[in-house]
Amino acid sequence: MSIDSSGPTATPGFTRREALRMAVAGGIGLGAAKVLPASAASAPLKGNLKHSVARWTFPKLSVAELCRTVKGIGFAAIDLVGPEDWATLKAHGVDSSMCNGAELGLTKGFAGREFHDQLVERYTRHIDLVADAGYRNLICFSGNRNGMDPQQGLANAEAGLKRILGRAEKRGVVLVMELLNSRVDHPDYLCDHSAWGVELCQRLGSNNFGLLYDIYHMQIMEGDIIATIGRHHACFKHYHTAGVPGRHEIGDQQELHYPAICRAIRDTGFDGYLAQEFIPTAPDPVGSLREAIRLCDV
């Protein structure tokens, strides 16, 4: 993920909100999207991985239209949907695979002690909303360094998250911190390497906290994707995709080979969601999504 879903960020990098503006104003083909009826679904998916798509990547479709589209392709989950849209998802039998809405943004996260009181209040309330809705995953962020030593950031994030982790454990909600790149899209973001996030997981020592391993972001920061998944998959509760470079379709015009990556994820026994989060550039963005699901259906 790369958008501040609660408002504009101060980060000058390429955010989801900027992508939405580009999609709407720049004409990257989302206007050509067509809602696919269930009858248009091709061969059933293999079921070895659970698939999802980030809601923000299809801004021209309403939530209801996107629900019908994913069901037509053959899966039933949408990422990064807040409480205001959960009723629509439920009406269509679609899961909210990663909930949002508690965060203060990408730049103001748990590494900043000055944000802890606000975050604890917001996340305590949101954990209950997620649990009451029957969902599981709730996204969170480290925030920016702001000159902070990474070890101090770890200590701060540990302290802040411990204030809400008991509630998450009691309600069966998993707090999932996203790994983002600080080189291209999110300058100064602290949780920008898997090692930092893994250490935070180890410090917290709870099955109700983990990482969102964004393959696009981590290819930019450190590469070694398949080996990292093999070493640290116990910490990875969720995955995001996109092509490198450019954050567009995940086909053969970019440097990551997603079928092999998805086989590596599958072989760890992963039972969470793999969510498509690329920005479509093709005239038929729904076709791009269909093709991405096909590539990842291993």
Long-range CB contacts for residues 287-291, cutoff 8 Å, separation at least 24:
288/249, 289/53, 289/58, 289/69, 289/73, 290/36, 290/42, 290/73, 291/249, 291/251
- Report whether pLDDT(54) > 60: yes
- For residue 200, the number of C-alpha atoms closer than 13 Å in the C-beta half-sphere is 38
Compute φ and ψ for 80, nearest 5 degrees: 65, 55
What is the pLDDT, as a whole number, of residue 43?
82
What is the number of other CB atoms lying within 10 angstroms of the CB of residue 122?
A: 17
Distance (Å, whole) CA 70 – CA 36: 8
pLDDT in tens, 153-191: 999 999 999 999 999 999 999 999 999 999 999 999 999
Strands (DSSP E) along the chain, which ranges? Answer: 50-54, 77-81, 95-99, 137-140, 174-178, 209-214, 236-241, 273-276
Secondary structure (3-state) at 77: strand
Q: Which residues contact 238 (CB under 8 A, 6 or more apart)?
A: 97, 98, 137, 176, 210, 211, 212, 213, 272, 273, 275
Any bridge partners for residue 51, and if so which? 274
Mean pLDDT to the nearest integer, 44-58? 97
Would you say the C-alpha torsion 118, 81, 132, 207 has a positive or negative sign? negative
What is the pLDDT, as a whole number, of residue 12?
32
- For residue 151, the number of C-alpha atoms closer than 13 Å in the C-beta half-sphere is 0
Distance (Å, whole) CA 296 – CA 155: 37
Distance (Å, whole) CA 137 – CA 210: 10
What is the pLDDT, as a whole number, of residue 34?
44
Share of the chain above pLDDT 90, in %: 86
The answer to whether the predicted template modeling score (pTM) of the entire model surpasses 0.85 is: yes
* Per-residue tokens: 92: 């269509």
What is the pLDDT, as a whole number, of residue 86?
98
Alpha carbon 35 to its chain's center: 23
Distance (Å, whole) CA 1 – CA 275: 10
Distance (Å, whole) CA 9 – CA 1: 14
H helix intervals, 133-185: 150-171
Distance (Å, whole) CA 77 – CA 28: 24
pLDDT in tens, 185-223: 999 999 999 999 999 999 999 999 999 999 999 999 999
What is the pLDDT, as a whole number, of residue 42?
62
CB 296 within 8 A of CB 278: no
